Structure formats: C-alpha cells, structure tokens
C-alpha cells in the first residue's frame, strides 16, 4: 500500500482562509455525518466512493483529506483513492475527535454551508417574511396573492401550501412576471424550512420585481406548527414564458450578477479554464432536467440552480474550485451565480452561446472508474437459486428504496459495513448481490468475496431488471442486516415528523450565524448595497 500522510485542523483552516482548493471528505454514512462535521466537509461515504468521487472531485491532483470518527473507514478510503488515481491524499489528524480537540467548530444536519448562508442573508438583508397565520388569512380572504414553492417538484408534491405553484428557486426571477402579472399581487415564496424561501424571496427583491414579495416564515414547518393544513399531491407548475418576459428578466438577472462580481466566459475562456491542470472547474447547466435532456453544452452536468445553491457541497465538493454556469436565457445562470459568488466561490457564466452549442442530448453520464469484473446471473437464474437452500440475496440500494420495494427474501446491507452485516445473515453457501442497477453491487462483490471466500454473483441489471420482468416484490424493514444510517432523517421532509423535531430544526437554523462566527472560515460576503 502507498503511504498516506496526515493533515491537521490548522492545515485545513489555513487552506480555507487562503481560499486554496481542498476536499475535506467525511467517509461515514450520511446519518453520522449529519450529527456533527466541519462546515466545509463533504459527505462521500466509503460505500459509494467509486461511483461518486470522479464527479465530485474531478481533478486527480486535488488535495484530499479524509476522516471518520474512529470507525477505521478513512484509512480504507485513502488507499482506495490512491488506487483511483488521486495523488494528494491525507488522513485528518486524529479524525473527527482531533478536529474537536483542536477547537474546531462542528455543525449538525446536511448542506450546512448553504443553510448557514441563507440565515446570514436574512440577517444582513432583512429579507421580508410573513407568518403562516398571515398567509392563511390572505388565502382565506381570497386576496390577490400567489404562493410559489421554491423546492423540487417531487418535494412540492409530497406536501405544499394549498393553492401553491411549483417554481423551483432558479426559475423564480424568470417566471414571476407571468405568474403574478399585476404588480400589486403579493408574492409569497415557500420551502419546507427556511433556506430556499429566504434565497428565493431575496432573489426577487434583488432582481427588483415590482411586486411586494415575502418568504413564508419557516416554510411548511411553520405552517404545520401553526396548526394549519397542508395539501398533498398538488401539480400546479409554471408554464413557458414569452420573449418580452424573458428579455426583461435577463436584464434584471445580469445586473444582479454583475454587482455580485460574477465573471464572464466565452467558449474559449471555458476551454482555457478546463485546460488549467492546477485548478478544478465545474460546469453546471442550471436549467430544468427536461431542458438539459433536450440539448446541452457537452461536458456540462445538469444541476438545477435552486438545488445548486441549496446543496452546493453535494456537487461542488472541492472548496475553492471554480464554477461555470450555463443556461439559454441569461436568467437562471446569472441569478444562481450571484448567490455562489456571495458564498465565496469563483464563479462565471458562460456567455455568447448559440443553439448549436447545446448539441448534446440525453441524461448526464456519471464518470466512473473501470467496473469490476463479476459473475453475473439473470432473473431466471436468480429465481432458481432462491429456491435452493444456502442462497443469500443482499441488496445494496438505499434503505428508502429497499423499504419501498425489494426482491422477496433480500437482506439490506451497507457495503462499508459488510463485516457487521454478516453477523446478522443466515449461513450461506453462495451470495447474490443486487441494487437498483447493480452498479454498487458490482463494487461490493469483491469486498464480500474477500470476507467470506464463498461464491458471489451479481444480478445483471439489478432490481430494476427484476421489476421489468414483472416479478413479485416485497416491502418493509423485515430483513435489515445493519441499521439504516445511510440517510439522515430530515425534520423538514415528509408529513409525519414530531412537532418537537420540527421546532428543534428551526431553533438550530436560528443558531447557525453564531456558529459561523465561531468557525470563522466561511468567506461569505452578502451584498448589502441596494440592487
């Protein structure tokens, strides 16, 4: 094995303050990560390292520091990263305990940089807001008001304000004029908690729209805590806008971006950035996924702008990297870039594009290392094996997907916890592995074979192939080989969260500004001048 060095808390802090590129990676599962982690740590679990790392840390020379909390995962991750071609890999000195002992601030929850930034924006800009009771009174009075939900459409469908319209965050400035054509119409922007409603509302304020605009204070959480009813399964969505609306919105967005210090790049300028071996450059298309699929700039990744601002660490996991945004209207890229610039990123908008530049079609293809060679079987062969004693079927999909539906008899496991999972599994003569597509299962196969010395096979095409064949499915948590730590239960998701958890989440958000001050590395600069 190659030698792996260490980096200290002070090393990381100095690099952050100097705005040098670094990737600080927490290789635990999402739930333990969400309990406490450094501000700019990115969560890439050891279980999924091979299938996420090339997209999230694309430059092999990036200074990567990995850590865990004493579980022994980081050392394995470091060696795996070296094998994947990364050259500058270190362990965090003392792991999470070392960070804590050195006086480093630790944060709870996920996407914390973006959420803390949202709280800072509200504090600095005094973003207007209305309480749930005030918005309910407007709706009851049939006042001239429109409620715009800034979350993803699937989140909006799960639970939303009655009568609300789905307008994900980056779409607001582009589409508000046709959703509220009367300049006296009250515009209310909501999300589930606080961040996207604050950023969405302030986007409209920054862009100078004529309407009165306010965030729904504390989002659907605040609505629920006020004892008011949410709607479920709504499907109101924005429509296409006319050229006059588009042109006006583009002028507004360009002004905001210029004031935030957003840079401009031509196609040649982008090529120059991408050719710079000493810097990481991300290229994100911030339009809707549907628009991206119809035609996009080659090499760009589909990341809708509202989610990019909300979950920056999940896609741009190298702090200090450069980000280039692209759209075809001059609105969504400029508005998204204006926020990233205030969050301390070097960000540019790709200008001067023609329709011919959007020549690549289809979905974004995740960059992957060479996939391991495995012994594959098809659905019919799996059916036959399941009828034989000694066959153990393991499913490595997300726990939420497993609980929703899985092949009868399958046990759920986390790849990085195979040793623990084996203690709770039946004695096996052979193992068959699956997940949604069997991609993760392919990488898990060698791990399991090394642990058990038993035959290991992989279901070709994964559970999706089983479903496509019309085979029976089960649901539920009956056969979990390890606890469901792969995903943190967000207090603002779903409809069955305890009131105490929702109120606790709001209290946590209110405390983020004080945490930012104690940490001192954020580099956020909220625009304060009139826009």
What are the tens digits of pLDDT across the range 363-386? Answer: 999 999 999 999 999 999 999 999
Side-chain-side CA neighbours of residue 102 (13 Å): 19
pLDDT of 490 reads: 86
CA distances from 162 to 129, 153, 156, 165 (A): 18, 15, 11, 9
- SS3 of residue 282 by DSSP: strand
**What DSSP state is assigned to residue 229?**
P
The superfamily (CATH) of domain 116-239 is Rhodanese-like domain (3.40.250.10)
Which helix (H) or strand (E) element contains residue 43? strand 41-43
Band the pLDDT of 503: cuts 50, 70, 90: confident
- What architecture is domain 5-109? 3-Layer(aba) Sandwich (3.40)
Query: How far apart are the C-alpha atoms of 119 and 14, rounded to whole Å?
Result: 25
Edge-to-edge strand list for the sheet holding 301-302 = 263-265, 346-350, 322-326, 281-285, 301-302
pLDDT of residue 2: 61
Q: Where are the beta strands (DSSP E) in 93-202?
A: 129-130, 145-149, 165-166, 186-190
Reported as half-sphere exposure (CB side, CA atoms, 13 A), residue 91 has a value of 22
Q: How far apart are the C-alpha atoms of 180 and 193, rounded to whole Å?
A: 23
Whether the pLDDT of residue 439 is over 70: the answer is: yes
pLDDT tens for each residue of 22-45: 999 999 999 999 999 999 999 999
Q: Give the model's confidence band at 499: pLDDT under 50 very low, under 70 low, under 90 confident, else very high.
A: confident
Distance separating alpha carbons of residues 4 and 223, to the nearest angstrom: 50
Q: Where in the chain is the domain with CATH 3.40.250.10?
A: 5-109, 116-239, 252-353, 375-468
Q: Which CATH architecture has domain 375-468?
A: 3-Layer(aba) Sandwich (3.40)
Tally of residues, the chain: 531
DSSP state of 369: P
pLDDT digits (tens, 9 = 90+) for 341-362: 999 999 999 999 999 999 999 9
Are 173 and 335 within 8 A, CB to CB? yes
Per-residue pLDDT tens for 310-328?
999 999 999 999 999 999 9
Contact in structure between 434 and 462 (CB atoms under 8 Å): yes
pLDDT tens, 115-125? 999 999 999 99
pLDDT score for 492: 74
Contact 157, 185 (CB under 8 A): no
Token digits of residue 319: 């702090």
Give the global pTM.
0.96
Q: What proportion of the chain, given as a percentage, has pLDDT over 70?
A: 98
Average pLDDT over residues 86-113: 97
Spatial separation of the C-alpha atoms in residues 218 and 506, rounded to whole Å: 7
Q: Which residues contact 272 (CB under 8 A, 6 or more apart)?
A: none
| Strand-pair category, 281-285 with 301-302 | parallel
The reported pLDDT for the residue numbered 502 is 85
Residues 6+ apart with CB under 8 A from 327: 285, 286, 287, 305, 333
Share of the chain above pLDDT 90, in %: 94
pLDDT score recorded for residue 493: 74
Give the model's pLDDT for residue 392. Answer: 98
What ranges make up the beta strands (E) of 219-345? 263-265, 281-285, 301-302, 322-326
Question: 34 near 45, Cβ under 8 Å?
Answer: no
Name every residue whose Cβ is closer than 8 Å to that of residue 258 and which is 6 or more positions away in sequence. Answer: none
- Output the pLDDT for position 44: 98
Structure token pair of residue 138: 């407007």
Domain 252-353: assigned CATH number: 3.40.250.10
| Phi, psi angles (nearest 5°) of residue 410 | -70, 140
What integer pLDDT is reported at residue 474 of this predicted model? 98
């Amino acid at each position: 094995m190659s030698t792996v060095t260490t980096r200290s808390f002070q090393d990381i802090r100095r690099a952050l303050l100097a705005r040098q590129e670094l990737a600080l990676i927490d290789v635990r599962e999402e739930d333990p990560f969400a309990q406490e982690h450094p501000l700019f740590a990115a969560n890439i679990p050891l279980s999924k390292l091979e299938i996420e790392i090339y997209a999230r840390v694309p430059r092999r020379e990036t200074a990567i520091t990995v850590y865990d909390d004493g579980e022994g995962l980081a050392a394995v991750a470091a060696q795996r990263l070296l094998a994947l071609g990364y050259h500058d890999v270190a362990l965090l000195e003392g792991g999470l305990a070392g960070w804590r002992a050195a006086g480093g601030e630790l944060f709870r929850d996920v996407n914390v940089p973006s959420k803390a930034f949202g709280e800072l924006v509200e504090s600095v800009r005094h973003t207007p807001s209305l309480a749930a009771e005030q918005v309910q009174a407007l709706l009851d009075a049939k006042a001239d008001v429109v409620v715009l939900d800034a979350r993803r459409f699937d989140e909006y469908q799960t639970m939303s304000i009655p009568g609300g319209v789905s307008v994900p965050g980056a779409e607001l400035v582009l589409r508000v004029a046709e959703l509220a054509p009367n300049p006296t119409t009250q515009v209310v922007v909501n999300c589930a908690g606080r961040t996207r409603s604050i950023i969405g509302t302030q986007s409209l304020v920054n862009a100078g729209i004529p309407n009165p605009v306010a965030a729904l204070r504390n989002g659907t959480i605040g609505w629920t805590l006020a004892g008011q009813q949410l709607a479920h399964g709504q499907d109101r969505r924005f429509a296409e806008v006319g050229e006059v609306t588009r042109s006006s919105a583009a002028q507004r967005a360009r002004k905001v971006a210029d004031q935030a210090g957003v840079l401009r790049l031509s196609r040649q300028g982008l090529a120059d950035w991408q050719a710079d071996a000493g810097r990481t450059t991300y290229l994100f298309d911030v339009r809707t996924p549907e628009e991206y699929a119809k035609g996009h700039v080659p090499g760009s990744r589909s990341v809708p702008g509202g989610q990019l601002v909300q979950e920056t660490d999940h896609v741009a996991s190298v702090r200090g990297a450069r980000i280039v945004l692209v759209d075809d209207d001059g609105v969504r890229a400029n508005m998204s870039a204006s926020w990233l610039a205030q969050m301390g990123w070097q960000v540019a908008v790709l200008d001067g594009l023609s329709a011919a530049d959007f020549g690549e079609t289809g979905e974004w293809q995740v960059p992957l290392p060479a996939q391991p060679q495995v012994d594959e079987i098809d659905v019919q062969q799996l059916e036959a094996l399941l009828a034989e004693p000694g066959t153990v079927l393991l499913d490595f999909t997300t726990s939420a997907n497993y609980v929703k539906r899985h092949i009868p008899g399958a046990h759920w496991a986390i790849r990085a916890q195979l040793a623990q999972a084996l203690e709770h599994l039946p004695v096996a003569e052979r193992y068959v592995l699956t997940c949604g597509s069997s991609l993760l299962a392919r990488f898990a196969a060698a791990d399991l074979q090394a642990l058990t010395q038993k035959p290991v096979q992989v279901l070709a095409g994964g559970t999706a192939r089983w479903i496509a064949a019309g085979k029976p499915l089960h649901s539920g948590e009956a056969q979990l080989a390890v606890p469901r730590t792969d995903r943190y239960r967000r207090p603002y998701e779903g409809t069955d969260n305890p009131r105490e958890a929702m109120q606790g989440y709001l209290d946590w958000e209110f405390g983020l500004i004080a945490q930012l001050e104690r940490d001192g590395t954020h580099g956020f600069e909220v625009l304060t001048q009139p826009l």
